[in-house]
Structure 1
Amino acid sequence: MISYSKIRTIAAEKKLMDIVIEKDYVLDWILWGISENDYLKYNLVFKGGTALHKMYFSDWRFSEDLDFTCIKPINVDKLREALILICKDVNNKSGMKIELKSIEASGDTKEDWSYEIKVEYLGPRQQSGGNLPTIILHITYYEPILYEPVKRTILKSYEDIPGDFFILTYPLEEIFAEKLRTVLYQRCYPKDVYDLWRLTKEVGD
Structure 2
Amino acid sequence: MRSDFANEVSRIQQIKRTDLIEKDIILHQLLLDLSKNSFFTENFVFKGGTCLIKCYLGYFRFSEDIDFTWKDQRVFTDKSQKQIRSILSKTIDSVGDVFEEIAVRRGLDYKCEKDNRNYVELGGGGKFCTFKIWYNSEILDRKSFVKVQMNFVEKLYFAPKKMQLKCLIGKGQEELDVLFPEYKEYSQPINFNSYDIREILCEKIRSILTREGVKARDFFDVYLICKRFNLKLEDIHNCVIGKTQFMLSLYEKYRKHFAEKKNIVVSERVFTWGEERALLIQDIDEKEFYEFIENLRSFLKETIKKLV
- Normalising by structure 1, we get a TM-score of 0.83
Instruction: Classify the secondary structure of the residue corresponding to 2:159.
Output: coil
Q: Identity percentage over the alignment?
A: 24
Q: Tell me what 1:60 maps to.
A: 60
What do residues 48-79 of structure 1 show as CA deviations (whole Å, max 9, x unaligned)? 11111112222321110111111246422212
Q: Tell me what 1:10 maps to.
A: 9
CA-CA distance at 1:137 after TM superposition: 0.7
* Aligned equivalents of 1:126, 1:202: Cα separation in 2: 33
Within the alignment, does 1:137 sit opposite 2:134 as a pair? Answer: no
* Aligned equivalents of 1:82, 1:22: Cα separation in 2: 22
Q: Tell me what 1:25 maps to.
A: 25
Quick check: which one's strand share is greater?
Answer: 1
Instruction: Classify the secondary structure of the residue corresponding to 1:39.
Output: helix
Within the alignment, does 1:84 sit opposite 2:100 as a pair? Answer: yes
Instruction: Classify the secondary structure of the residue corresponding to 2:41.
Output: coil
Q: Tell me what 1:51 maps to.
A: 51
Within the alignment, does 1:161 sit opposite 2:192 as a pair? Answer: no
- Contact 2:44-2:193 at 8 Å conserved across structures: yes
Larger radius of gyration: 2
- Contact 1:99-1:121 at 8 Å conserved across structures: yes
What do residues 10-54 of structure 1 show as CA deviations (whole Å, max 9, x unaligned)? 224333221111001110000011101121112121111111111
Q: After superposing the two structures, state which structure 1 stretch, 38-47 or 177-186, moved more.
A: 177-186
Structure 2 CA distance for partners of 1:103 and 1:184, relative to 1, 3 Å: closer
* Aligned equivalents of 1:204, 1:155: Cα separation in 2: 22
Quick check: which one's helix share is greater?
Answer: 2
Q: Tell me what 1:94 maps to.
A: none
Q: Tell me what 1:180 maps to.
A: 205
* Aligned equivalents of 2:185, 2:56: Cα separation in 1: 17
- Contact 2:44-2:69 at 8 Å conserved across structures: yes
What is the number of equivalent residue pairs in this alignment? Answer: 192
- Contact 1:41-1:168 at 8 Å conserved across structures: yes
CA-CA distance at 1:8 after TM superposition: 0.9
Residue 108 of structure 2 is aligned with which of 80, 92, 98? 98
Which has the bigger relative contact order, CA under 8 A and spacing at least 6?
Answer: 1
Task: Tell me how large the CA RMSD over aligned residues is.
Answer: 2.2
Q: Tell me what 1:204 maps to.
A: 230
User: Runs of 4+ in structure 1 displaced over 4 angstroms?
Assistant: none
Instruction: Classify the secondary structure of the residue corresponding to 2:40.
Output: coil
* Aligned equivalents of 1:16, 1:65: Cα separation in 2: 20
* Aligned equivalents of 1:156, 1:76: Cα separation in 2: 28
* Aligned equivalents of 2:4, 2:211: Cα separation in 1: 41
- Normalising by structure 2, we get a TM-score of 0.57
Q: Tell me what 1:121 maps to.
A: 135
CA-CA distance at 1:86 after TM superposition: 2.4
Structure 2 CA distance for partners of 1:182 and 1:9, relative to 1, 3 Å: same
